[in-house]
DNA sequence: GTAGCAAGCAAGTACCTACTTGCTTGCAGC
DNA sequence: GCTGCAAGCAAGTAGGTACTTGCTTGCTAC
């Protein structure tokens, strides 16, 4: 019943699960990590499956994926900030997401829950870019859906795989958001209102370091 | 000793591992899947770990990731064909790659082996785009590294996650390669020699179906 | 002080896991 | 026909797994 112990168990379960997956997250390991007797797990959550399900819910409830504002101001600045926040969110949950998705066939509901955050983030981006195009800032002839899909995949890949295959991510993690956004805007055919996009030197990234 | 039985075991191990991961791939399951006595596994490979290591080697040796040709002809056509082949390769190994990467911390050598194919494919693309730029076909002011990184991530994401989160991949799997390549070339600032890139209708994808 | 209750502790159950051993079967080469 | 050898089969070992039970400890409320 004690909420303090309950949360300690949930946090420990999240750590152990993120490292070892469902099968590897034994009740003994979780209890040790939480500094709690193993029996307490079963008295509090009933079973290992229920415990990990509760852990999953608490994880998705704890932090929310970032949402882009409704009205478009400076696209590059707004997108870069959103992109940095989303990357931070994804990196914080990288191991958990990786494990959950790789076990999607055995536990599809858990995978569904883990994808909720990224999905809403992607939908938010789609809405924003639609506005961009409505306001004549993006090339209307361009395949925007594909650009969005590739953008989201790039953020996913960066957050989930940068540590495993660093060769594929040459730019440092800090400057990645602005570079991703610039490339994305170029692909979307941003019609610069103030600045020309295609012939701008890459120096811009440095002047906007204060986004975190 | 018999190579036929050996291969049957290796294939069965690949299937079971791709579905259940290292911990879930029990020797009993593999033996049943191979239609072989469990003892034969140990007599042939020594231990479960050695069996799965041999399976990994045989998997990476079986098929190779596609390589782009050294001289640049029609970039869009060549890249689309390469992209289709790489996607096919990745999709064929999707479950295996997903499981292996998610277990990278516990078995880093296996993850390294699984990343070998994708890494060489990425390096091949980097070389090709460098040639593109040398021949003046790509915008020299553009951040090509980032575009390549996002492109590879997009292919990875498509191959590994399309089945789990289909919302993020609106375009059908068949037409994905040409769309990815067109978006990539736009981001790289392809300077069209014969055709203008930015204002071309998407019809091109249909006329090049014979890539397989 | 005492009743209630959450948590710890020790032990046990039933099952699964990797791996071993001893023996039998069936086939190929001499 | 005999030998050698690869594979099957039955059984067992030692340890791990989820989960249960019975009892003790310690704190809180009345």
Residue A62's pLDDT band (cuts 50, 70, 90): confident
Measured from Cα to the C1' atom, the residue closest to C6 is A1
| Nearest CA-CA partner of B165 in A16, A101, A93, A25 | A101
Average pLDDT over every residue of A66-94: 93
Give the pair of three-digit tokens for residue A164. 């495993």
Residue B25 Rama label (left phi>0; alpha psi -120 to 50; beta): beta
What CA–CA distance (Å, rounded) separates B131 from B133? 5
Tell me the pLDDT of chain B (212 aa) as tens digits. Answer: 677 899 999 999 999 999 999 999 999 999 999 999 999 999 999 999 999 999 999 999 888 889 998 888 899 999 999 999 999 999 999 999 999 999 999 999 999 999 888 889 989 999 999 998 888 888 888 899 999 999 999 999 999 999 999 989 999 999 999 999 999 999 988 765 444 444 334 343 334 434 33
What CA–CA distance (Å, rounded) separates A137 from A152? 20
A5: the nucleotide nearest its CA (via C1') is C7
pLDDT, position B1:
61
Average pLDDT over every residue of A66-88: 92
Q: Distance (Å) from CA B39 to C1' D9?
A: 10
pLDDT, position B148:
94
pLDDT tens by residue, A86-129: 999 999 999 999 999 999 999 999 999 998 888 899 899 999 99
What CA–CA distance (Å, rounded) separates B89 from B122? 13
* Contact list, B147 vs chain A (CB under 8 Å): 183
Average pLDDT over every residue of A19-23: 97
Alpha carbon B1 to its chain's center: 32
* Contact list, A111 vs chain B (CB under 8 Å): 164
Judge whether residue A48 contacts strand D, using its CB and a 7 Å cut-off.
yes
Judge whether residue B27 contacts strand D, using its CB and a 7 Å cut-off.
no
| Nearest CA-CA partner of B149 in B109, B114, B118 | B118
* Chain A interface, best mutation among B110, B129, B161, by max A CB count within 10 A: B161
pLDDT, position B117:
87
pLDDT, position A173:
94
What CA–CA distance (Å, rounded) separates A96 from A56? 9
pLDDT, position B19:
97
Q: H helices within A25-143, ranges in order?
A: 27-34, 38-45, 48-62, 75-92, 94-102, 108-134
Judge whether residue B39 contacts strand C, using its CB and a 7 Å cut-off.
yes
* Contact list, A24 vs chain B (CB under 8 Å): 23, 106
What CA–CA distance (Å, rounded) separates B75 from B68? 10
Q: What SS3 state is found at B156?
A: helix
Alpha carbon A95 to its chain's center: 11
pLDDT, position B204:
37
What CA–CA distance (Å, rounded) separates A122 from A142? 18
Percent of chain A with pLDDT over 90: 69
| Nearest CA-CA partner of B138 in B194, B89, B185 | B185
pLDDT tens by residue, A142-182: 899 999 999 999 999 999 999 999 989 999 999 999 999 99
Q: What is the CA radius of gyration of chain A?
A: 20
What CA–CA distance (Å, rounded) separates B120 from A168? 10
């Amino acid at each position: 019943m004690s909420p303090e112990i309950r949360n300690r168990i949930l946090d420990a379960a999240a750590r152990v699960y993120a490292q070892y997956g469902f099968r590897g997250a034994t009740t003994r390991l979780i209890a040790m990590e939480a500094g709690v007797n193993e029996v307490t797990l079963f008295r509090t959550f009933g079973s290992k499956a229920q415990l990990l399900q509760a852990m999953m819910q608490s994880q998705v409830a704890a932090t929310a994926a970032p949402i882009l504002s409704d009205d478009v101001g400076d696209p590059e600045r707004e997108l870069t900030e959103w992109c940095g926040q989303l990357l931070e969110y994804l990196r914080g949950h990288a191991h958990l997401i990786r494990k959950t998705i790789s076990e999607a066939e055995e536990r599809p509901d858990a995978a569904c829950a883990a994808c909720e955050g990224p999905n809403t983030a992607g939908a938010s981006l789609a809405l924003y870019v639609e506005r961009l195009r409505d306001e004549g800032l993006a090339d209307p002839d361009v395949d925007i859906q594909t650009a969005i899909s590739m953008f989201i995949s790039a953020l996913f890949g960066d957050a989930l795989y940068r540590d495993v295959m660093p060769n594929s991510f040459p730019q440092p993690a800090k400057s990645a958001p602005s570079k991703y956004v610039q490339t994305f805007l170029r692909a979307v055919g941003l019609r610069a209102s103030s600045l020309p996009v295609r012939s701008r030197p890459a120096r811009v990234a440095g002047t906007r370091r204060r986004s975190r």
